[in-house]
A and B are shown apart, each in its own frame.
Chain A
Amino acid sequence: RKEVEQDPGPFNVPEGATVAFNCTYSNSASQSFFWYRQDCRKEPKLLMSVYSSGNEDGRFTAQLNRASQYISLLIRDSKLSDSATYLCVVNPGGYQKVTFGTGTKLQVIP
């Protein structure tokens, strides 16, 4: 099993739709989790951290399910500007390496 797995997509959704991505991880001891957004030919940018109790930032909601070892990102009321690749990051902590997923591509269609 890969350390971190994401569905590469693409997810093609109409404007205004709600879309959700999952990211599964194999190390049950992982401690911190993040979602990044990466536009074409740009560097990744932090979208949000993922907290155990779940957290929301405007139209974006992140959740952590430790029992099933996955994190999720929900985007409500999709905008054209949300079109990008969404990368999850899993940090086991200590001296273990941080791992990025391969990313999920989202295309919001007018």
Chain B
Amino acid sequence: EAGVAQSPRYKIIEKRQSVAFWCNPISGHATLYWYQQILGQGPKLLIQFQNNGVVDDSQLPKDRFSAERLKGVDSTLKIQPAKLEDSAVYLCASSLERGQPQHFGDGTRLSIL
């Protein structure tokens, strides 16, 4: 079974630029999550999708972050414009259904200069 795919693995941009991350979940997984993990902290949920609907986005900074999951499969997370404090690892995970164990992709390590 193929795992969760994420790209790119690394990204370096300057502040105020835009960046986008892509995630392809495990086939058949209805629930998709985006997390932000800052060094030394646990993953922080940014947004959770159930199929193509949003379950929770209470911790998503909506003035600069956006995410979509069209057709209920792949998802993209965008930051525009980026700030220095956005430097982190962005993890995508999927689960068969809500409440089920999550499987993570390798993550995208974002550095803001």
Which residues in A have some Cβ–Cβ distance to B below 8 Å? 6, 31-32, 34, 42-46, 49, 87, 89, 91, 93, 95-103
Q: Which residues of A contact B59 (CB under 8 A)?
A: 97
Residue of B nearest to A91 (CB): B99
Q: Which 10 A-B pairs have the closest CB atoms?
A: A100-B42, A43-B104, A97-B56, A102-B42, A32-B99, A100-B43, A46-B101, A103-B42, A97-B45, A91-B99
Smallest CB separation, B99 vs chain A (Å): 5
Q: Which residues of B contact A100 (CB under 8 A)?
A: 35, 42-45
Residue of B nearest to A4 (CB): B42
B79 within 8 A of A: no
What's the interface size class on B, roughly? 20 to 34
Q: Which residues of B contact A103 (CB under 8 A)?
A: 41-42
Which residues in B have some Cβ–Cβ distance to A below 8 Å? 33, 35, 41-45, 48, 55-56, 58-59, 91, 98-107
Q: Which residues of B contact A97 (CB under 8 A)?
A: 45, 48, 55-56, 58-59
Residue of A nearest to B91 (CB): A43
A46 to B4: give the CA distance in the assembly, Å.
Answer: 14
Q: Which residues of A contact B44 (CB under 8 A)?
A: 100
A46 interface neighbour in B33, B41, B42, B102, Cβ under 8 Å: B102
A44 interface neighbour in B43, B45, B48, B55, Cβ under 8 Å: B43
A99 to B102: give the CA distance in the assembly, Å.
Answer: 12
Q: Which residues of A contact B107 (CB under 8 A)?
A: 43
14 intermolecular pairs with C-beta atoms under 8 Å apart? A31-B99, A32-B99, A43-B91, A43-B104, A43-B107, A44-B91, A44-B104, A91-B99, A93-B99, A97-B56, A99-B45, A100-B35, A100-B44, A103-B41
Is the CB–CB distance between B42 and A101 below 8 Å? yes
Is the CB–CB distance between B33 and A98 below 8 Å? yes
A35 to B49: give the CA distance in the assembly, Å.
Answer: 22
Is the CB–CB distance between B98 and A93 below 8 Å? yes
Smallest CB separation, B95 vs chain A (Å): 9
Assuming the A-B contacts A31-B99, A43-B105, A45-B104, are A96 and B42 also in contact, with contact meaning beta carbons closer than 8 angstroms in the complex?
no
Is the CB–CB distance between B106 and A95 below 8 Å? no
